[in-house]
Homo-oligomer: A and B are copies of this chain.
Amino acid sequence: MIPQEIIQSLSVSTPSKIVLLVLDGLGDISTGEGTPLEVADSPNLDRLAAEGILGRTDPISPGITPGSGPAHISLFGYDPIRYQIGRGVLEATGINMSLTPSDVCTRGNFASMDEKNLITDRRAGRIPTEENRRLIDLLSKEIKEIDGVEVILETVKEHRFVAVFRGEGIDGRLAETDPQALGVKSLDPAPLDPAAEFTSSVVRKFIDRANRVLAGERPANTFLLRGFSKLPDIPSLEDLYRLKPAAIAAYPMYRGLAALVGMEILKTGDSIADEFATLEENWSLFDFFFVHIKKTDSYGEDGNFPKKVEIIEETDRLIPRLLALKPDVIAVTGDHSTPAVLKGHSWHPNPLLIRAATVRRDACSSFSEAECQRGGLGRLPALEVMPLLLAHALKLEKFGA
């Protein structure tokens, strides 16, 4: 892979426009009748495939199943090994908390423990978000600061919240407290580096004080902390590729990921049609649009094959509105596969479709895993998609004389 710094030096700003349409968890495996993409009635995507070029991408490398963070980071053109985004940061940016570069964030899960402090439910029965809010208000009132370190708590959803530690000399290299098992105590947030001793003692005190505040609550009388992390030192898409990028995503985490790489986050609604309307309204203002569709992944995670098919078909019906905008480059892909039969993310390559006047067309005539396998782009790391999109939009100058 060519160093990012070289691609940066070749990037030029042009009026051409790129749309990266991500159907989260799109790829699947067939259990007989075909994959959701193969079964779906999607004439518009098929037309794009016929006019463009297909291929397959490995989100990270063969066999590696990515979380949403690294999968998107790759797609945006950043080496997912070099730029690892902690779970805490991911949650915090997903709910639009503004972080300073020195903040340590962690994701909290409200949990239940018995009188011997043994964990009985790692998610406190997935308490309603409103109950979470009440508990976070309570904790926030009681615990504002520990040894000079400010503590900021925010509800995310159901049992999930974010804790941010802000102050001098804090360090995110701490062990997670979630034992990932029931009938045992939560773990100590031990320092993983001597520089994190102070932060470790602050977090221990935070847990002790919070447990006292929650002592009378049921079922959420404690919590588990995961993914202590700081903002990564990551260049923006504008710095790297001279893009003016915008993100359209109904789900917070994807807005957070887009914000991390400097995309402007556009307000949008809950439906796919709302997202396409947002694209239309903002078309003249940006030259790169990341449009994120969540529910292909959600239904994959639920093992709901027919609903995953429906989301593909719903998206397909909106493609003519995208085409009417006359983008120079359209890419349709997933961030990772979420096979319905596996009910979770997987390592299978993503289907990829690129449609532009500058592609070398292949013989493919529909958009599916099988067609992508014989597509002209072959198989490539997802990290190489962004340079390809820039190239097809004629936004990259020649390397060397």
Contact = CB atoms under 8 A, between A and B. Distances in A.
Nearest to A345: B398
Contact of A80 (B67, B80, B400): B400
B376 A378 contact: no
Nearest to A359: B29
A355 to B, nearest CB: 13
Contacts of A181: none
A2 interface: yes
Given A61-B384, A64-B10, A64-B391, A358 B69 contact: no
Contacts of A81: 2-3, 6
A24 to B, nearest CB: 14
Contact of A380 (B10, B62, B80, B346): B62
Interface stretch (A115-123, A157-165, A183-191, A360-368): A360-368
Contacts of A64: 2, 7, 10, 387, 391, 396, 399
B63 A396 contact: yes
B29 A62 contact: no
- Mostly, the A contact residues are loop
Q: Tell me how many chains of this kind the complex includes.
A: 2
A361 B62 CA distance: 16
Nearest to A2: B61
Given A67-B401, A400-B69, A61 B373 contact: no
Interface string A278-300: 00000000000000000000000
Q: In the complex, which range does the number of interface residues on chain A fall in?
A: 35 or more
Nearest to A360: B29
Interface in A30-78: 30, 35, 56, 60-71
Contacts of A399: 60, 64-67, 70, 80
Contacts of A349: 360
Contact of A363 (B360, B370, B396): B370
Interface stretch (A84-92, A132-140, A192-200, A307-315): A84-92
Contact of A342 (B68, B69, B70, B358): B358
A108 interface: no
Given A28-B360, A80-B399, A227-B401, 5 more contacts: A30-B360, A35-B360, A62-B387, A70-B400, A80-B400
7 closest cross-chain pairs (CB), A and B = A63-B387, A63-B391, A67-B400, A70-B400, A87-B401, A378-B379, A63-B388
6 contacts: A1-B61, A56-B378, A62-B387, A63-B396, A362-B370, A378-B378
